[in-house]
Copies of this chain bind each other. A is one copy, B any other.
Amino acid sequence: MTARTSTESARDIPEATVARLPVYLRALTTLSEAGTGTCSSEALAAAAGVNSAKLRKDLSYLGSYGTRGVGYDVDYLRYQIAREIGVTQDWPVVIVGIGNLGHALANYSGFRSRGFRTVALLDADPARHGEMVAGIEVQPFDDLESIVAEHGVAIGVIATPAVAAQAVADRMVACGITSILNFAAGVLSVPAGVDVRKVDLSVELQVLAYHEQRKAQGELA
């Protein structure tokens, strides 16, 4: 899934833990907004939907931020996780392919509130150019290079049809983007050092269908 080339820095956090840190972060934000000042690993684990031992081990990779007999300071731990993930700063993001899904993503407020700022919406179709979506103007895909250079964009989102995805990814990589979130079906091939994460709704539904079928078979027996 992720390719590592650069020299490993100080702490090496397991991939599975990295994927859970954002979940803890959200749970902590909810707790903080509810006015909770301190929480135990048990309580936080319940809020995040994981085993408490796993939570404690995950947090131990970041350091020793809890107090035995007491628990964790919600705001302090929240800051530490945010810093570790790197969302104390804002990451500029470009979205390519402003169709059905691209519109939804552009309108999604959860990005901005969680450390990401959409700096541009790009589409190859001239008919879409100039349209305003969530306060941002849709621009030609060919503006990619200048926008990435101007804002120092490192993260790109692909929401184009599958046939265009590889070409879009190539252009992104060529102009310096090193992390891609891909909604299009199929496999993207990128050079080492570029991270790609794929979201595939059909896969999710088909996994559900598999289990659903098994349940039905079990009832017959």
Contact = CB atoms under 8 A, between A and B. Distances in A.
A149 B87 CA distance: 45
A210 to B, nearest CB: 5
Contacts of A25: 206
Interface stretch (A67-75, A104-112, A165-173): A104-112
Given A104-B100, A187-B47, A199-B201, A91 B212 contact: yes
A201 B87 contact: no
Contacts of A21: 206, 210
A213 B85 contact: yes
A202 B85 CA distance: 12
Contact of A181 (B23, B105, B116, B205): B205
A206 B47 contact: no
A32 B181 CA distance: 27
B103 A201 contact: no
Contact of A212 (B19, B155, B201): B155
A37 interface: no
A6 interface: yes
Contacts of A181: 201, 204-205, 208
Interface of A: 2, 6-9, 13, 18-19, 21-23, 25-27, 30, 47-49, 84-87, 91, 93, 100-101, 103-105, 107-108, 110-111, 114-116, 154-155, 178-181, 185-187, 193, 195, 197, 199-215, 217-219, 221
